[in-house]
Amino acid sequence: MTTTLSHYLDDVRDNLRLDLSTEREVISELEMHIEDRLQEMRQAGLSEEEAANRCLKLLGSAKSVAHQIYEAHSQGSWRQALLASMPHLLFALLFALNWWQGISWLSIMLVLVLSMAVYGWWHGKPTWLFPWLGYSLLPVAAAGILLLYLPKGWSWLAIVLYIPLALRLVYSIIVHTIKRDWLYSSLMLLPIPIIIGWFLAADLGGRFPEFSLQRLQYFAPWIGLSFLALATAVTTFIRLRQRRLKIAILVASGLLTLTMVAYYTDGRLGLTALSVLILMMLGLFLSPALVERKLRKRRVITREVSDAKGSRYY
């Protein structure tokens, strides 16, 4: 296969955004199809270069081909949708039944989340993994919240040291998950602004551990309802085929859930705080796309440099 067609397959692969096993199968089938067409054109008397150019014209742009393949294979099964929504459902149950007050239930939930995240990470990063990864970041967020209750001088010093480390960890996870699709990184980060919103609304004032548990208990049914809304959004996301609709459901679910937080807290979450949370949500949603764009440009430059060295060598 010519270098031009090899680059064409690389471009299709870069825009495909499917799991590795499906991607390998699809690219293998496409490669076999191209080889068959090339063979037919060679037998018709075309040169290698002419056959390659004719084949590219027949195939169309790499982005268009990748888009068609994506819509044909992007719909997850009901089993994948259920597994992806499960962490949201479990946290909804945790608050709806007031199990969040028991350290044993919280420990079981944390162990389950971390176990599922590790299992999915080492088994090809399936579609259902990403919401579990998002909840596995809760200990990192909790550590940051607890730093606020240190003595004043120490708390600011700890936070200054903590923020770069936490951002580095999140960035590292995003870079690894982005290899599949930046949308799944956004799906992973979706609960973070909602959790922060409920924390702010509960107004957990005073020094640790003197929290306003009664206020949390009052909000618990609505907190459970917000997680249930996230579970519904994730199920819909996994079952959709069209990429634009997947993006729309993520943005809409984030805005709707934050609006629920503001509504059910009787004005405790003011307009300013709500606006900041919405901006945070949009920032978290868009940051994986920006990282993916940066990484893709780097891959293209690396490929061009490699081709230039190869042509110079020959």
Residue 169 Cα distances to 140, 142, 163, 284, angstroms: 9, 14, 10, 14
Burial of 299 (0-12, 13-18, 19+ CB in 10 A): exposed
Answer yes or no: is pLDDT of 296 > 80: no
Lowest mean pLDDT among 80-89, 109-118, 230-239, 263-272: 263-272
Tens of pLDDT, residue by residue over 2-58, are 677 788 888 888 888 887 778 888 888 888 888 888 888 888 888 888 888 888 888
For residue 222, give the nearest of 91, 65, 60 by alpha carbon: 91
CA dist 231 and 80 (Å) reads: 12
Average pLDDT of the chain is 82
Pair 22, 73: CB distance under 8 Å: yes
* Mean pLDDT along residues 251-262: 90
Tens of pLDDT, residue by residue over 142-184, are 676 666 666 666 666 666 777 777 777 777 777 777 777 888 8
